[in-house]
Amino acid sequence: MQLRSFALRGPGFARGPSSILSRHASSEAQPCPARRRRSRVLRARTLLVTGSSGLIGSEVVRHFHRAGYRVEGVDNNQRAAFFGPQGDTRWVQRQLVAELPGFRHNELDVRDRRGLAGLVKALRPDAIVHAAAQPSHDLAATIPFDDFETNAVGTLNLLEAARLSCPESPFVFMSTNKVYGDRPNTIALVEKETRWDYADPAFAGGIPETLSIDQSKHSLFGVSKVAADVAVQEYGRYFGMPTCCLRGGCLTGPAHAGVELHGFLSYLVRCNLEGRPYRVYGYLGKQVRDNIHAEDVARFIAAFLESPRAGEVYNIGGGKANSCSILEAFALVEGITGRPQNSSYVDANRVGDHVCYYSDLARARSHFPGWDVSVTLPEILSDLVAGWTKRGVA
Ligand SMILES: NC(=O)c1ccc[n+]([C@@H]2O[C@H](COP(=O)([O-])OP(=O)(O)OC[C@H]3O[C@@H](n4cnc5c(N)ncnc54)[C@H](O)[C@@H]3O)[C@@H](O)[C@H]2O)c1
């Protein structure tokens, strides 16, 4: 395993809550002080990834393992409890353990406050990526306590564990564009042949981080993620910890166990390969999503860990260039597989569902000029087809 020089735990970050608070309490997100290197002491940096068997978690595990980190994962296959056998992520866990020497899987529930605190204390990781979640908008309404305890309380458990044991280590939280609730639906739209688009030129580049997250309909999932998102910001602004929230559009990749309730593009490809009808909920199938490959999300996280800032928020998606409507996605997938896409149509849209959403990536690009979306939409789709085919779906 490649060794990296140990980054001193931030000159500006003294240990102990009071000193952290007095040095960094701020209402503005801040770049963190440059990190000094501790000469001669070399060891692999440790990364703790929650939700490590999931789509984003597993991609992050692989990315940072390649980069020489010692990676510790936390997952309890809760996705199978949420979505049934089709959401099972044990196969990813087994692959990671078999293929990545040194990777360690920790069977832990993020709701287990003491267990999480003990693990973080023992590891004192150099960085944390928090990707464990109940990720479905629709499912949350049927399991409100499980949703809130996983998404909001689980995040607070991890933040507090980090504050007590490694407050200077960058903490990246996978938030969601659902924190904006249905506010994007108040933007004037224009109906085009195959998609909706913003009619208001102020949003020509997509949805910026400045859009209000207040006073709109969120779904209970949006509520639990808002609570977590604001807590992550607060540990940056109040305690000065190098935290950031990544408000994802549609994140996907070959490790996605897409199901009807979560992971639209992955699930759509699966339906195409199996000849199963894909159910479209309202908006004429012209609803627009921006899609980003999990590898580009991992690359963004790497850029943040190199130059962390405190209490930041970024919209992370494929942007307009990687956006598509469901109708457009059907055509693109048919072009790749050569198979017709079966579909059915339900008049009612999903509650609070965005009609048109694509991320404005200007802030992400300006803070991290070396980063940009690198995987195009057709490449993402080809990867999804290859991923499902490899898993025996055809
Ligand atoms: N995939 C997307 O399109 C998308 C979009 C926006 C935001 N996000 C966010 O990104 C993050 C990762 O999403 P994903 O698509 O990788 O989800 P995923 O469901 O593929 O992975 C989440 C993983 O977390 C695990 N998990 C769930 N609850 C847990 C618990 N209580 N304790 C331990 N592990 C638990 C699951 O078993 C699963 O392996 C989530 O926070 C999600 O809200 C995802």
Name residues of the chain where pLDDT drops below 50: 1-26, 34-40
Cα of 313 from ligand 1 centre, angstroms: 18
| CATH value at residue 45 | 3.40.50.720
76 CB within 6 A, ligand 1: yes
Q: Are 129 and 158 in contact (CB under 8 A)?
A: no
Question: Concatenated DSSP letters for 321-359?
Answer: GGEEEHHHHHHHHHHHH-----EEEESSPPTT--SB--B
142-to-5, 65, 137, 147, 308 alpha-carbon distances in Å: 48, 37, 10, 9, 37
Residue 190, beta-bridge partner list:
197
- Say how far apart CA 256 and CA 291 lie, in whole Å: 13
251 CB within 6 A, ligand 1: yes
> How high is the pLDDT of residue 4?
33
Q: Are 317 and 291 in contact (CB under 8 A)?
A: yes
> Residue 162 CA to chain centroid, in angstroms?
19
Host domain of residue 54 = 5-183+208-257+292-321+360-374
State both tokens at 70. 């010692």
Q: Are 147 and 113 in contact (CB under 8 A)?
A: no
154 CB within 6 A, ligand 1: yes
79 CB within 6 A, ligand 1: yes
> How high is the pLDDT of residue 32?
56
Q: Are 290 and 249 in contact (CB under 8 A)?
A: yes
| Residue whose CA lies nearest to ligand 1 atom number 42 | 135
pTM to 2 decimal places: 0.91
Place of tokens 């540990």: 235
The answer to whether residue 352 sits within a structural domain is no
253 CB within 6 A, ligand 1: no
| Residue whose CA lies nearest to ligand 1 atom number 9 | 174
250 CB within 6 A, ligand 1: yes
56 CB within 6 A, ligand 1: yes
> How high is the pLDDT of residue 87?
87
393-to-240, 251, 272, 320, 378 alpha-carbon distances in Å: 47, 21, 10, 30, 20
Burial of residue 346 (CB within 10 Å: 0-12, 13-18, 19+) is exposed
The answer to whether residue 349 sits within a structural domain is no
Expressed in angstroms, the distance from the first to the final Cα of the chain is 37
Number of H helices and E strands in the chain, helices first, is 14, 18
Domain count along the chain: 1
> How high is the pLDDT of residue 29?
58
> How high is the pLDDT of residue 357?
98
The answer to whether residue 71 sits within a structural domain is yes
Place of tokens 């996907």: 252
Q: Could you give the angle at which helices 55-66 and 294-306 cross, rounded to 10 degrees?
A: 50
pLDDT digits (tens, 9 = 90+) for 249-302: 999 998 887 888 788 999 999 999 999 999 999 999 999 999 999 999 999 999
The answer to whether residue 247 sits within a structural domain is yes
State both tokens at 205. 């580049």
- Say how far apart CA 272 and CA 286 lie, in whole Å: 18
3-state secondary structure at position 176:
strand
The phi-psi region of residue 284 (left if phi > 0; otherwise alpha if psi is between -120 and 50; otherwise beta) is left
Alpha helices in 25-169 (DSSP H): 55-66, 78-83, 90-99, 113-123, 137-140, 144-148, 154-165
Ligand 1 atom nearest residue 178's Cα: 6
Q: Are 89 and 134 in contact (CB under 8 A)?
A: no
State both tokens at 28. 């503005």
> How high is the pLDDT of residue 350?
87
Cα of 132 from ligand 1 centre, angstroms: 4
The answer to whether residue 264 sits within a structural domain is no
Q: What type of residue is 182? A: D
- Say how far apart CA 60 and CA 47 lie, in whole Å: 10
Q: Are 293 and 255 in contact (CB under 8 A)?
A: no
| Residue whose CA lies nearest to ligand 1 atom number 26 | 132
The answer to whether residue 213 sits within a structural domain is yes
The answer to whether residue 153 sits within a structural domain is yes
Question: Concatenated DSSP letters for 72-92?
Answer: EEEE--HHHHHH-GGG--HHH
265 CB within 6 A, ligand 1: no
Question: Concatenated DSSP letters for 253-322?
Answer: -TT---BTTB-HHHHHHHHHHHTPPEEEESGGG--EEEEEEHHHHHHHHHHHHHS-EESEEEEES-TGGG
Q: Are 362 and 317 in contact (CB under 8 A)?
A: no
- Say how far apart CA 388 and CA 394 lie, in whole Å: 7
272 CB within 6 A, ligand 1: no
- Say how far apart CA 158 and CA 296 lie, in whole Å: 24
Ligand 1 atom nearest residue 225's Cα: 43
